[in-house]
Amino acid sequence: MKINLQVWRQKNSNTAGKMVEYKLDNISPDMSFLEMFDVLNVELMHKGEEPVAFDHDCREGICGMCSMYINGRAHGPQTGATTCQLHMRSFSDGDTIVVEPWRARAFPVIKDLVVDRTAFDRVVQAGGYVSVNTGSAPDANEIAISREIAEEAMDAAQCIGCGACVAACKNASAMLFVAAKVSHLAVLPQGKPEHLARAEKMVAQMDEEGFGACSFTGACSVECPKSISLDHIARLNREYLGAKLTSTNV
C-alpha cells in the first residue's frame, strides 16, 4: 500500500508545532498502525532525521499508553480498539492519513504525538481507591457480591486510562474516565464507606486539572476503546449530587 501521512511534529512543549507530510510505500495491510510508524521512523533515522515520538508500550490494547488522533478520531476509525490494535487493512491504498496528538488543555504536548496525562494520576490520587492497608483484609469470601454487581463493576473497572474520552470530547471533559473509577467502586460494597467523599474529591481534582464540563454528547463512550457506557456518567452525577447534599467539605 501507498500511504500519505500528515503528522504533527512539535519539538517540545515550548515550541510551536506543525503538520509535516511523509510518503510511504510498501506498507503491508497486515501491519499494525504503530508498525507503520516504526517503518517511517527507521526511514527517517536513515536519512539522519529525527523519528516521530509517540507513546506505546504493550501493543495489545491494554496498557493505555498509545494515543493517536487519526483522521479526526481518537484511536482512528475502528471502535472498541486502541491505536495499537488498528491495522493498515482499515485504510485503502493511496489514502491520506492525518495524525495528531490528544488535544486538551489538561494534556499538554511533550513532543510530537506524546502528551502529558499525569492529570489522570492526580485525579485517582484524590480518591480513586478503597482505604485498606495491606494485611488488614478479611477473608475474600466473607462479602458475597452478586454476579450482576461484580460484572457491572468490571464493566467500569476495565478503563485503561488512555484519555481517548478527553480527546474525543469537544469540551475535553474527563467525565467518562472519572465516572468509570467512581462507578467501579460505588457499586461494590468495599467502596461504599468512602463513596461520597470519593466522588466529591475526584470531581474537584478533575476541575482543578482544567478538564472541561460534560455536555453529554456521548462522543467519549463511542471512542472509548473499552466501550465504557454513559450509564457510569449518570451514576457519577448521582454520587456527586449525593455527596454535595451532605458534604461538610465545601
Partner 1 sequence: MKLESKIPEGPLAEKWARHKFGLKLVNPANKRKYEIIVVGTGLAGASAAASLAELGYNVKAFCFQDSPRRAHSIAAQGGINAAKNYQNDGDSVYRLFYDTVKGGDYRAREANVHRLAEVSVNIIDQCVAQGVPFAREYGGLLSNRSFGGAQVSRTFYARGQTGQQLLLGAYSALSRQVATGKVKLYTRSEMLDLVVEGGKARGIITRNLVTGKIESHSGHAVLLCTGGYGNVFYLSTNAMGSNVTAAWRAHKKGALFGNPCFTQIHPTCIPVKGNYQSKLTLMSESLRNDGRVWVPKTVEMAEKVRKGQLKPSAIKEEDRDYFLERRYPSFGNLVPRDVASRNAKYVCDENRGVASTGLAVFLDFADAIKRDGKKTIEAKYGNLFEMYEKITDDNPYETPMMIYPAVHYTMGGLWVDYNLMTTVPGCYALGEANFSDHGANRLGASALMQGLADGYFVIPYTIGDYLATIGPSDKLPADHPAFKQAEAAVNDQIKHLMSLKGKKTAEEIHRELGLIMWDYCGMSRNAEGLKKAKGLIQELRKEFWSNIRITGDADELNQALELAGRVADFIELGALMVDDALNREESCGGHFREEFQTEDGEAQRDDANFAYVAAWEYKGENQPEVLHKEELVFENVKLTQRSYK
Q: Residue 142 Cβ, how far from partner 1 at the closest point, in Å? A: 9
Q: Could you say which of 1, 24, 124, 204 contacts partner 1 (CB under 8 A)?
A: 124
Length of the chain as a residue count: 250
Q: Residue 48 Cβ, how far from partner 1 at the closest point, in Å? A: 6
Say whether 114 sits in a helix, a strand or coil.
strand
Say whether 142 sits in a helix, a strand or coil.
coil
Q: Does 172 bind partner 1 (CB under 8 A)?
A: no
Q: What are residue 194's DSSP bridge partners?
A: none
Q: Could you say which of 19, 132, 234, 241 contacts partner 1 (CB under 8 A)?
A: 132
Q: Could you say which of 98, 157, 197, 204 contacts partner 1 (CB under 8 A)?
A: 157
d(C-alpha 168, C-alpha 146), whole Å: 34
Stretch that binds partner 1, among 148-156, 170-178, 207-215, 240-248 (CB under 8 A): 148-156
127 C-beta neighbours (distance < 10 Å), count: 22
Each residue 34-73 as x (binds partner 1 by CB under 8 A) or -, in order, gives xx--xx-xx-xxx-xxxx-x-xxxxxxxxxxx--------
- Helix (H) / strand (E) element for 179: namely helix 175-187
Q: Residue 44 Cβ, how far from partner 1 at the closest point, in Å? A: 7
Enumerate residues 91-120 that contact partner 1 by CB under 8 A: 110-111, 114, 116-118, 120
DSSP 216-235: ---HHHHH-TT---THHHHH
DSSP state of 159: -
d(C-alpha 63, C-alpha 80), whole Å: 14
Query: In whole angstroms, how large is the CA radius of gyration of the chain?
Result: 20
Q: Residue 119 Cβ, how far from partner 1 at the closest point, in Å? A: 10
Nearer to partner 1, 157 or 222 (CB): 157
Q: Could you say which of 18, 30, 245, 250 contacts partner 1 (CB under 8 A)?
A: 30
Q: Does 89 bind partner 1 (CB under 8 A)?
A: yes
